[in-house]
Each structure stands twice: as structure tokens, then as C-alpha cells.
Structure 1
Amino acid sequence: MSYRDVASRPVLTWALVAIGARMPVAMAPLALVFLVRERPDGYTLGAALAAAYVIGEIVGAPVLGMRLDPARARPHLAAGLLAGAAGFAGLGAFPGAPAAVLAAFAFLAGAGPAAAPGGLRTLLTTLVPGHAVTQALSAESVLTFGVWAASPATVTGLALGADRRLPLLLEAALMASAALGLRLLPAGWAASRERDGQGTSKLRVLARAWPVYVTGAASLSLLALAELVLPALLEQRGVAVGWAGLLLTAMSVASAVGAFLYGLRSWPGRLSTRSAVLMAGMSAAVTLLALIPAAPGMAVALAVAGLLQSGAMLTRNLSLREVLPPGALAAGYSVMYAAVGAGYAATGSLAGALLPVAAPSTAILAGVALTVLLTAVGWWGETRAGRSAHADVPRPLDAAAGPEGPPVGGGRDPERRL
């Protein structure tokens, strides 16, 4: 297996559009904090604006994702990106506006483009041969983690070195450029194959994949622990808080490396089992992060967590391709986007509630316990669904009953196709 089939002009065009759509998402929370930090109770207001932005993503992703027209997705995605650009532009143009107005802009910036990740991912898989989908999704993860690694330095440099409004205005420009760049990509994906299945509503089809969403939420829960509790944990260990940025960058780089390595070969085991193993490894690494007293050991633990996290996220995306029909994939990716955002918010809220009354290391361990619980529920749900599907597969009649026709072929594990 190699990335040769992914290296093409259409995929390069897609990558440029994806950077324009995703870098504003990665920059947004920190940019919102820098935008209002000099106002009275600025940090509290910044956190509230970031929460409004995330709520917008959680609400917008499933609502807009389910409304995507497979044959004409491009106008829908462009409209969402332009709405997000308007939200970011409003924040950058009116930083002194009342808090309610800023929250409305932040909500629009999060909700408008929330269906873009799912739609762009589905477009990407139509630009490569079927046997190269895993490599395409791996390359997408490498790009995503690269964007997340570069975003904090970009926001900090612009906000502190030039003007606090510049990060938001840059985000608006990037989203607008992504909307324009969509004209260079296909208008949608094969409408002839877009069937949700025998009259079943798309909502019911998406609901069948709930175990995948639960495990997806668990995978980002650990990232929330690393990002939100790390500064307090460094203070607890007597390490300079300035190391937090470097450690998180190392984690993002390790995640990019892990995504690249995942696409180089096929891996044994069912996707659900593979995901559970990777999540267990991530949980162990974050547990070590909470227990190791020195910065070098913490850096290694974070790097291992990042290396495994990319594989866990990729197995979730591949699992969605297995359990959902092609017509529901873009909506499924959007629901996954909302689910992982909800997981991030839930774990972050748990850690925030515990920090005033418990040590940072204890807050991390509580978050790990929540993640393990979500992983177990998701794995149980996938295993149960797999057994039910296997029981529903028609079996050839017993030979004693006489031949009724040729046996049904193709009884392979569907995961071997990936």
C-alpha cells in the first residue's frame, strides 16, 4: 500500500480548499480569548465565546449535514463557509460590541460551516480509487493535525505581535477563499449511488451508527484533557507553564506521523476491535501523563497518545463507511463531528468542575475513566450490531433439502475490503 494514488492534481486542489476551511476552526478558540482578554473579565468572556462557537458547531453539523444534497453539495457547502466567514468578520470588525452580539457572531462562525468537514471528506473519497480510500483519509488526518499544530503559533503571533483582530479577519479570509475554491471541485458525489436504503429515513439510518459516534466522542475526550488540564498539571509538577504549547505541538506532530503510518499498510482485526485497542493505548498514555512528574516523560506520554489518537480517529471514519450507505456518509461524518465536539465539551466540563476541588492529575484520571466507559459502550454496541447483522445474513440451505440454487457468495468480512 502507498500514497501514489492520492498524489493527484484534484486531491491537491482539495487540500488547499480544506486548509482554508479547517484552519479557522483550529484557530477560533484561542483567537476568541485573545480578542477580548483585555476587557473586564476578559478571560471569562473569551471562554463563553468559545463555548458559543462550539455549541454552534454541535448544532449546525447534524442539522446542515443531513440537508446536504449529494448531487449538488457544492452550493450548500459554499453557503455555509460564507456564513462562517461573515461570523468571523463580524468578530474581527466589532471587537468592542456587547457580549451578546459577539456570542451571536461566534455561534454563526461555528454553525455555518459545520457541515463542511463531512462534505469535504466525502468529496475526497470520490477523487481517489476505491482501494485508496484508507490512504486518502490518512492523508486528510495528516493535513488536519498539521493545521492544528500550526494554528496556536499563528494566532499568538498575530494577536500579540500585531493586532488582536487580525486572527479573526484571517479566519474570515480563509473561509471565503475556501468557498471560492469549491468551484474547482466536483459539484457533488455520484447521485445514482446515493440511496439511504429501502425507504428508511436518513435519521434512522444515521441512528444505527450510534456506537461509532460514542467511540468518536471518547477519542476527542482525551484530547480535551490534554489541552485544557495540561497547564494546571505543569504547575502542579513545578514545570513552567510555557512548556504547554511545545508539548501540545509535539502531540499534534506525533498524530500526523501516526496518521501517515496508518495508511502505509493494512492492519489486522476488525475495525471495532482495532479502535478499542487504540483507545486503550491512548487511555494508558494519558494516565501516565497524569502520574509522571518530569517534563520529558510527560512529553513522551503525550506523543504516544497523539500517535495512537490518529489511528483511532481513522478507524472511526472507516467504520462509518462500513455501516452507512453512500448516500448517508456526508451526514454521518457531520454527526460524528458533532459527537466528538460534544465529547470534548463534556470532558472539558468535567475537568473544569473538578479542578477547583481536586488536583489536576486527579481531574485527568477522572476524565480517563469517562473515556474508558464511553469506549466500552461503543465497542459493546458495535459488537452487538455486528452479531445481529451476521444473524440476518441468509445461509445456504442444507444439502439434504435439495439444491435450490447456487450458494450466496462473497461471505467475507466486509472490513477486508478497506
Structure 2
Amino acid sequence: MTYRDVASKQALAWAVVAIGARMPVAMAPLALVFLTRERPGGYSLGAALAAAYVIGEIAGAPFLGTRMRPHRARPQLAVGLAGGATGFAGLAAFPHAHPAILAAFAALAGAAPSAAPGGLRALLTAMVPKRAVAQALSAESMLTFGIWSLTPAAVTGLALGVAPRIPLLLAAALMASSVAGLWMLPAGWAADEADRDGESMARILSRAWPAYVTGAAGLSLLALAELVLPALLEQRGTGVGWAGPLLTGLSLGSAAGAFLYGLRDWPGRLRTRSVLLLCAMSACVALVALIPALAWMAAALVLAGVLQAGAMLTRNLSLREILPPSALAAGYSVMYAAVGAGYAATGSLAGALLHFVAPSTAILAGVGLTLLLTAVGALGESRRTASVVSAGERSASRGDKGVVESPAGPGPERAPICSGSDTERRL
């Protein structure tokens, strides 16, 4: 079980498609701010457009993800990514349009491709051997964190050095190229709809709600680090320009953490690992609020990034334990919406608190919210596991009672299993 199991030409093609699909997502919020900053009230308008984009993602991911069919995912992914490219192109083509039109383009750019991250993740894990799923998810995380590390500098350089619309044009071109790249990949992944046992998709996905809560908790810490860090530096008399390098360190730490996580099997249950990682990450972010020295702040953020990668990977692996294969893409999409909602909620809380308390206090309040979400998710997972074990025991008990033994010994064998049964299909 090494990264060699993931390395292949098909995986390389997947990485190229993933870059085209995900870099525009990382570019969007900052690119929207630069697009409108020279208009009257430009920064406020840019923030509103970024909010419309995120709302589109949060609303679109569960709606589109639950409708994705594993065996024919390619056309659905292609339509979504093409819609996203259209939204980005519209923003770049009409930068001076009415705010309502720009908001509609931003919402389209966010909503249309919002099921692509989940679909591409399900496609990647289906392309590698089962023993290498953790390594595949680690490689995906390294790619994602690498994109987020490079994107802010690229957007800033293009917007200020060339033209404000150029980052959005680049985003449209990248997303359009990912549509063409889908035909280098399999059309979908194998998943038997019978593994749902007749349950509705909504009911199946609802079983994984503890994982969604812990996912929201993990990204809420990222929101604190990104949104409150400049104000915290200003509070301490440190140059606000240090926010960029510090956040780059956070992203690089996450990339390193994803690599380290995939090197070996880790002891303990996934839910235990997730809780420990989130608590340790919360402690690191709390230290950022409490430690005045810039060097120690940087060290705490790098360590928080390492822990964040592990927390993200454990929750994705937890989804694979809870959900059947036919619901994985939908589950990843709902997770995508949940973490976006956690980011938005914590960012809004921190922003509101900044009007009344110091930035360090706002960070600590956000850490408290994260720990509360972590506790709720852990409690829900514990109860879910207990109910599954109890149901299994009841089923076993009913099975024992159904076997009638004769005086000569055990009763007759059950009827032969018919061809095509669940047991045979799982072999």
C-alpha cells in the first residue's frame, strides 16, 4: 500500500482534469473582488458577488450530487462544468453590468459545477485498487492544497498586472478545458443500485450527518484563519502583509499533512482520529490568537494545516464506511455543501463579533463553536454506531430463533440460494 498504486497514466489525466475543474473554484472569490473594486462601492459589491457564488455552491452541490448516476457520470459532469465556464465567461464579458446580472452569473458559476468535486473524487477512488483508496484521497488533497497555495498570487498578479477580468477569463478557459478532458477518463464508476436496499437517496445520505457536521467544523477553523488573521495582525501592530505568507504556510502544511497521512495505516477508529485531529487543530488556532510572536504564529498555522489534512481525509474515509458505493458521489457533494456552510457561518460569526470584541477574542469564540460542532458530530457518530450494532444483534437473534433443531441434530439446510442473489453479487 504505497503511492505507487496510485501512479498511472489515467491518474495523471484525472489530475489534469481536476486542476481545470478546481482552480477556478479557488480563484473565484478573490477574482470577483478585483473585478468590481474600481466601481463605486466596489469592495462591497465584490463581497456580495462572492457570497452569491458560495450560495450557489451550497445550494447546487446536494441538489445536483444526489442526481448523479454512477454509470453515466461523464455527461452530467460535462454539463455542470460547461455551465460553470459559461458563468465565469459571462462575468468576464460584462464586468460593468447591473449587479443583479453579475450576481446571476456568479451563482451559475458556483452552482453548475458544484457536483464535480464529489463526482471526480468518486471516479478517482474507483480507478485505483481498494487498498490504495487512502493514498488516492491523500494525493487528491495534496493537489487541492497546492492549487489553493498558488491561486491567490496568480489572481492578484493577473488582475493588477493585466486586467481585472483576466482571472475570470482564465477560470472560464480552465473549466472549459476540463470538459474536454473528461473524455480521457472512464465514463463513470461501477455501483449497484441494489446496494441501497430500496432506501431513498435522502434517507441514505441522512445517515452520514455526523460526518457532515465534523466536516463543517473542520472548515470553520479555516474560515477563522483566513478572515480574521489580517485584523489580528493589525491588533498586534504587525504588518497586514504577513497574512499572505502565513496563509501560504497553512496551505503548505496541509499539503505535507496529506502526504504524511497516506504513507501508512494509522491506529484507532476513524471517528476517534477525526475528533482528536479536530481538537488538536482547534488548539493550534487558539494558540494563534494567544501567542504574540509572529514566528510562533506561523508555526502554529503550519501545524494546524498538517492536522487539517488528516481531519479532512478521515471524514472522507468515514463517508466510504457509512454510504454504499451508489451514494458516494452524492455524499461527497453534500459534504462539499456542508463544509461551505460551516465556512460561511463561522466567517459571518467572526465578522459580526469584530464589531464588538478584539480579533483574538473573535477567534477564540470561533474555536469554541468548532469544538461544539465536533462534540455534536462525535456524539451522533457514537449513537449511529451503537444503533447499527444493536440492529445487528437483533437480526442475529431472530436468525437463531428461526432455526429449528431436530432430535437428531441441526435442522435441514435452508433452500439453495437463487442465482443473482445479494450474496453471489458481492463475491
Is contact 1:195–1:325 with CA below 8 Å preserved after alignment?
no
Partner of 2:418: none
> Aligned partner of 2:145: which letter?
F
Deviation at 1:404, TM superposition (A): 6.8
Structure 1 pair 246/202, CA: closer, same or farther in 2 (3 Å)?
A: same
1:387 paired with 2:370, answer no
Q: Which residue of 2 aligns with 1:159?
A: 159
- Conserved in 2, the CA contact under 8 Å of 1:26 and 1:148? yes
1:195 Cα offset (Å): 3.4
Q: CA RMSD in A?
A: 1.6
Give, in angstroms, the shift of residue 405 of structure 1.
9.6
Check the 8 A contact 1:292/1:298 in 2, yes or no: yes
Change (3 A) 1:344 1:403: farther
After superposition, the Cα gap between the structure-2 partners of 1:403 and 1:239, relative to the gap in structure 1 and judged at 3 Å, is farther
Whole-angstrom CA distance in 2 between matches of 1:115 and 1:198:
24
Q: Structure 2: which amino acid aligns with 1:39?
A: R
2:98 maps to 98
Give the length in aligned residue pairs.
405
Amino acid at match of 1:339: A
Aligned partner of 1:411 in structure 2 is: none
Residue matched to 1:60 = 60
1:349 paired with 2:370, answer no
Counterpart of 1:246 in structure 2: which amino acid? P
- Per-residue deviation at 1:194? 3.5
Q: CA deviation at 1:197?
A: 1.7
CA radius of gyration, larger in:
2
Q: How far has the Cα of 1:392 moved from its partner?
A: 1.6
Deviation at 1:204, TM superposition (A): 0.5
* In 1: Cα distance, 2:328 partner to 2:263 partner: 24
Extract unaligned runs of 5+ from structure 2: 414-427
Q: In structure 2, what is the Cα distance between the partners aligned to 1:74 and 1:53?
A: 24
CA–CA distance in 1 between the matches of 2:62 and 2:194? 18
- Contact 1:217–1:341 (Cα < 8 Å) also in 2: yes
Kindly provide the amino acid, as one letter, of the partner of residue 343 in structure 2.
Answer: Y
Report what 2:260 is aligned to. Answer: 261
Question: CA offsets, 1:272-291, max 9 Å, x none?
Answer: 01000000000000000000
Question: Does structure 2 retain, via aligned residues, the 8 Å contact 1:23–1:147?
Answer: yes
Q: How does 1:274-293 map to 2 (within 5 A)?
A: 274-293=273-292
The aligned residue for residue 177 of structure 2 is 177
Q: Which residue of 2 aligns with 1:147?
A: 147
Between the aligned partners of 1:195 and 1:235, the Cα distance in structure 2 is 57
SS of residue in 2 equivalent to 1:293: coil
Which residue identity does 1:118 align to in structure 2? G
1:114 corresponds in structure 2 to: 114
Measured against aligned partners, the alpha-carbon deviations of 1:307-352 in whole angstroms (never above 9, x if no partner) come to 0000000001000000000000000000000000000000000001
For 2:66 and 2:200, the matched residues in 1 are separated by 11
Letter in 1 for 2:261: Y
What is the TM-score with the length of structure 2 in the denominator? 0.93
In 1: Cα distance, 2:279 partner to 2:391 partner: 31
Aligned to 1:235: 234
**C-alpha distance in 2, partners of 1:70/1:20?**
21
Q: Distance in 1 between matches of 2:240 and 2:159?
A: 19
Match for residue 28 of structure 1?
Answer: 28
Find the aligned partners of 1:326 and 1:266 in 2 and give their Cα distance: 22
Q: TM-score, normalised by structure 1?
A: 0.95
Report sequence identity in percent: 72
Distance of 1:195 and 1:360 partners within structure 2: 52
| C-alpha separation in 2, matches of 1:374 and 1:109 | 30
Pairwise CA distance, 1:403:
5.6
**Per the alignment, in what secondary structure is the counterpart of residue 240 of structure 2?**
coil
Provide the rounded CA distance (Å) in 2 between the counterparts of 1:93 and 1:239.
39
* Cα shift at 1:376: 0.3
Q: What CA distance in whole angstroms lies between the structure 2 residues aligned with 1:58 and 1:196?
A: 27
Unpaired runs of at least 5, structure 1? 407-418
- What is the one-letter code of the residue matched to 1:351? A
Letter in 2 for 1:336: M
> How many angstroms apart in 2 are the aligned matches of 1:58 and 1:156?
26
**SS of equivalent to 2:194:** coil
Give the residue type in structure 1 aligned to 2:324: P
The alpha-carbon distance between structure 1 residues 320 and 403, as it changes in their structure 2 partners (threshold 3 A), is farther
Q: Is the 8 A contact 1:196 1:326 kept in 2?
A: yes
Counterpart position of 2:316: 317
2:161 aligned with 1:168? no
- The answer as to 2:250 corresponding to 1:251 is yes
Do the aligned partners of residues 190 and 161 (structure 1) sit closer, same or farther apart at CA in structure 2, a change above 3 Å counting?
same
